[in-house]
Amino acid sequence: MEMSICFATNDRYAPHAATLITSIMENKSSEDELSFHFFSDQTTLAIQNVFREMSQKLDFQLTIYEISDDQFADLPVFAGSRTAYFRLAMHRMLPKSLNKILYLDCDMIVMTSLKELYTVNISGYYAAVVASALRVPHLSVDYPYFNSGMILFNLEKYRNENMENHAIQFGCEHHGLLWCADQEILNYIFKGNVVYMPLKWNMMLYKERFEAHWLWGFEKYPYTDEELHEAETSPSIIHYVTVRKPWLADSDHPHREIYWEYARKAPFYEQILHDYNKIKPKLFSKFETLEVPFASFVNYAYGTKSMEQKMDIYLPANKGEINVFLLIHGGSWIGGDKTDYTSLCMRILSKGLCCATMNYRMLKPNVMLDRQPVNYSGMLDDIDNAIVSLKSKLTIEGYSPHKLVLFGASSGGHLALLYGYSRYEQSAIPIAFLVQELGYSDFTDIADFKLYQQRMLLPQLSLLAGQAIDYEDVLNKAEMLKDMSPLYHVKPSVPPTLMRYDTRGELMPLSQGTKLKAALDLAGVRNDLFVYLNYDHGQISQEDSIIRNAYHAKYQEYMDTFL
């Protein structure tokens, strides 16, 4: 069976491309005859020669194409380069006799023969792809959104309909809105005219964290929970889409060892291993010049139910009584990571305070409602357990935890508020005050949200609640929604609260902050609300410097007053 496979890479990703090829060749069937098409983004001759030697040793055809990203200069840079756009133009360089080709991202491992995938009938379709449970809000389309890491292209249809020009035009017109480079472009220009393949052909491990968090309604997602289980247990292609690439020293990806199994057999293994040992975990790479002596405990487990139940703890050198910050990341309850707040931890640490940033069990957007591993109550349990474990660890290390500051932003802000208002009395370390930015406060009133936000939020509320929630429940202010809403837990004894929102409110209406402030004022609870004027959902510029400085000054005032 003759199959043509292509990938685009630069010097940085060449070792991982070689690992991918190694996995393909090891798992091919005896009838498979493979041709690889290597689109080079200024890779050195030495690296190209390594691939040529691989082709001779492993017996596959190899063609190397030099391509410059200058032709994509009008499109935004993605992950430090424009290499991702090469697949938009590869049809011009490939042989005209080639009517289809399988494109694979370099951060993949292939576990089976590709024959079943390659022989799928795509006549009349642009491609065969695997759908994703995620989307971005500005891409208003009425079909499942796919991941572009694995695409079986129908080159004949792509050429005949001049799709490259459509792609470039869409990319230029939406330059400032492209979050995932060519992925959004291809989703838009293909308009759903694709064959959706089983999830096992691009297993992205949805239980891992994503950088985009926008849900399709569940009726749009074409895979069942059973198909997800099959893909997780018997993947044909593993796609390491998360920030925890398996070759990084701080990776805890569940399929990390599978990558290394093939890397050890690939020609760049010594280089990958050298980089792995040479480069510190990225947790610390930005902070090597920090002049405050500290100890750290990275990926410290506070629970046993999930790999997500981990936190990073940073301790100053001076032991004894200490105040503690616990940071809760955002990400729509389905994404984000504790390392999002490592920089903030370092700043807090420099003030002689302990700081911890935690992961927690998150919602799984492609898992059926009755099989969700957690709901909002379970997330609060995780915060409970993290605080207990943090207190225990501090005591063991010779510290005496005094008071706790709970901080969160976006969905993390919602959790910080909900825990701080509903469970503050049971916190193992007394809560001094709360800091929350852009957090949800009232789920019983989403009328202020734009239509696409409501479309996104209602399915998430169902997952968060652990039961089906529809718009009627919102209109009737269902008790479950009240229980999930921090606003309905406000009483005179809750901790002081410092808040920040934005006037534009594209992702979080300002009313979520003003209503909460009114409730806290009515209850006589110390609170302060700061509102940035020109930027949305945490994007701050010098234009708001006066307000920002006042917010930071108030932050310090809270620390001086309540700690």
Q: How many other β-carbons are positioned within 10 Å of the β-carbon of residue 18?
A: 25
Instruction: For residue 287, give both structure tokens.
Output: 């902070």
Q: What is the pLDDT of residue 528?
A: 96
Predicted TM-score (pTM) of the model is 0.54
Q: Which of 325, 341, 320, 487 is nearest to 397 (CA)?
A: 320
pLDDT at 158: 93
Residue type, 481: L
Q: Kindly report the three-state secondary structure assignment for every residue of 519-548.
A: HHHHHCCCEEEEEECCCCCCCCCHHHHHHH
Is the Cα torsion angle 466, 469, 473, 474 positive or negative in sign?
positive
Task: State the CATH architecture for 2-243.
Answer: Alpha-Beta Complex (3.90)
Residue 550: predicted pLDDT: 86
Identify any residues that bridge with 358 across adjacent strands, giving them in sequence order: 311, 328
Query: What is the amino acid identity at position 264?
Result: R
- Contact between 351 and 324 under an 8 Å Cβ cutoff? The reply is no
Name the pairing type of β-strands 214-215 and 194-196: unpaired
Of residues 433, 441, 432, the one with CA closest to residue 413: 441
| Burial of 188 from C-beta contacts in 10 A (0-12 / 13-18 / 19+) | middle
Look up residue 406 and give its two tokens. Answer: 């709970």
CB burial of 470-504 (b: ≥16 within 10 Å; e: otherwise) equals eeebbeeebebbeebbbbbbbeeebbbbbbbbbeb
Give, as one character, the DSSP assignment of residue 76. Answer: P
pLDDT at 27: 96
Name the token pair of 82.
């424009």
- What DSSP element (H or E) covers 347? helix 342-349
Q: Where are the alpha helices (DSSP H) in 43-161?
A: 45-58, 86-89, 115-118, 155-160
Under DSSP, the state recorded for 455 is H
Dmax (CA) for the chain in angstroms is 77
Give Cα 561 distance to the centre of its chain. 36
The pLDDT of residue 344: 86
pLDDT at 509: 82
Looking at residue 185, what is its pLDDT?
Answer: 85
- What is the reported pLDDT for 285? 33
The residue type of 120 is V
Say what the pLDDT of residue 209 is: 32
Residues of the chain with CATH 3.40.50.1820: 282-562
Determine the pLDDT at residue 100: 96
Q: Cite the residue boundaries of each domain of the chain with CATH code 3.90.550.10.
A: 2-243
CA atoms of 130 and 181, how far apart (whole Å): 17
Task: Give the pLDDT score at 84.
Answer: 72
- Confidence at residue 447, expressed as pLDDT on a 0 to 100 scale: 64
| Residue 327, strand partner residues | 357, 407
Q: What is the pLDDT of residue 3?
A: 97
Which CATH architecture does the domain made up of 282-562 adopt?
3-Layer(aba) Sandwich (3.40)
- pLDDT, tens only, 38-51: 988 778 899 999 99
For residues 307 and 302, what is the distance between their CA atoms, to the nearest angstrom?
A: 10
- Low-confidence residues in the chain, pLDDT < 50: 137, 206-220, 279-292, 451-452, 536-539
